Amino acid sequence: MLSVPDMPLREQRRNLLIELVLLFAVGYNFVLAVINAKVFRVSPAMTYAVELAVYAACFLLGMRALDRKRMAMVFTGIALLALLMLVRLFMAWTLDPKFFRDALIPFAFLLLGAAYTGSLPRMFVRMALLVSLVAVFELALPKVYGDVVNPKSYFVNARGASASSFWNQDSNLFVSATRPGARNFLPSSNLPRASSVFIEPVTMGNFIIFFTAILLTFWRWMRPLAIVASVAMIGFLIVASDGRLAAGTCVMMALLSPLLLRMDQRLGFLIFFAVMGGAWLLVWASGIQSYEDTTLGRVFFTVDSIRRMSADAWMGLDVDQPYRYFDSGIAYFISSQSVLLVLAFLLAYSFAMLMRTIEGQLFKNLLIFAFSLSLLVSNGYFSIKTAALWWFVCGCLWQMTPRLRESAAVPAAPAPRIPAVPA
């Protein structure tokens, strides 16, 4: 197993600070929900302020991590986003900062990840353990979790949700945590669908997919006990959150990982279009003609939405359109950013963000696969709770250099020393 010299104390503290920023980015809604439930009412403005503070921390900590070429690429991307906002303003006299924020998340966490020089496997095993422990508490004492966290009150007060949309008046959990019908896993248990620190089950499913990608990418650098624990936590979280889609995605990633490991990372855009083409074929083969509240029904909604999008929506000039597509991530992506920026993203992701290690190439291909699948049924990957994790790891791996296995050579600074220490 490769090893590196001990880190200086200053570097250890910096890595700890970066880990805390990432953890807060993923879990700040949980903290605010507890404050909302037990201290004072949290307003939407407070959540925006907290999120802005997270982005500021990312840029401050990561600003000097990249070389000039990569930094120029990052700020060119941000400039393109700003240009789109100006075009919208002058052509439609409307401006929605949310769409800029959606696209800013990857840049912010790429920079934060680039500044991290610790062990990615170890950090995310710890994070998965924390998520699992909170999920155990939630399933064991759902009423206590509901009283302490009270997702219903938080989403109504801070996120603009309607109280009437929470059909179960006897529960303070998120609306989909107690949706009608039996669970897919443990159907006779009458347990809620766990949300853990994410306070809603969909993001829990996205975390499971992400952590599976971490395990598939770094298992060679992890101790056997850590691998076994990781597999056990993934299984538990799938059952706890009743994550059927998460389970299916994890299985597909595991089956495809040997192919994705060998696939040229510059073909990432083909993975995206292959998944989209597969969705069209699935809808055609199934013969479905209308929306249903099922996975297949949401895929149909995505295909049908793309067919019906107006020219203004394709060009990102109709700011009302994206809000109609929460169950269609690709329609939301195009209408909120424009088809031109979507194509620019795919090209930049495939040809500009080149990874120099096999771990980086595999993770990059796993990300575009998981992202594409998610876009068929949800826009959840535009949430900071999900996107921050993926792009943080991409930033870290973007800086990572291959190790020389025949000597005691270490990566050239400031390349991250990962996977440096087995988890």
Residue identified by tokens 């945590």 is 177
pLDDT at 320 over 90: no
For position 182, what pLDDT does the model report? Answer: 58
Exposed, middle or buried by CB within 10 Å (0-12, 13-18, 19+), for 405?
Answer: exposed
Greater pLDDT, 134 or 91: 134
For position 181, what pLDDT does the model report? Answer: 64
**Mean pLDDT confidence for 139-167:** 88
**Mean pLDDT confidence for 372-401:** 94
Of 338, 368, 394, the residue nearest 103 (C-alpha): 338
Most confident of 70-74, 172-176, 185-189: 70-74
pLDDT at 417 over 80: no
**Mean pLDDT confidence for 242-246:** 90
**Mean pLDDT confidence for 5-21:** 88
For position 106, what pLDDT does the model report? Answer: 96
pLDDT at 362 over 90: yes
Instruction: Give per-residue pLDDT as tens, 181-211.
Output: 656 777 777 888 999 999 999 999 999 999 9
The model's confidence at residue 409, banded by pLDDT at 50, 70 and 90, is very low
pLDDT at 369 over 50: yes
**Mean pLDDT confidence for 361-384:** 95
The whole-model pTM stands at 0.91
pLDDT at 167 over 80: no
For position 415, what pLDDT does the model report? Answer: 43
Tokens of 73: 């690429």
pLDDT at 407 over 70: no
23 in Cβ contact with 128 (< 8 Å) = no
Instruction: In whole angstroms, give the CA distance from residue 58 to residue 358.
Output: 26
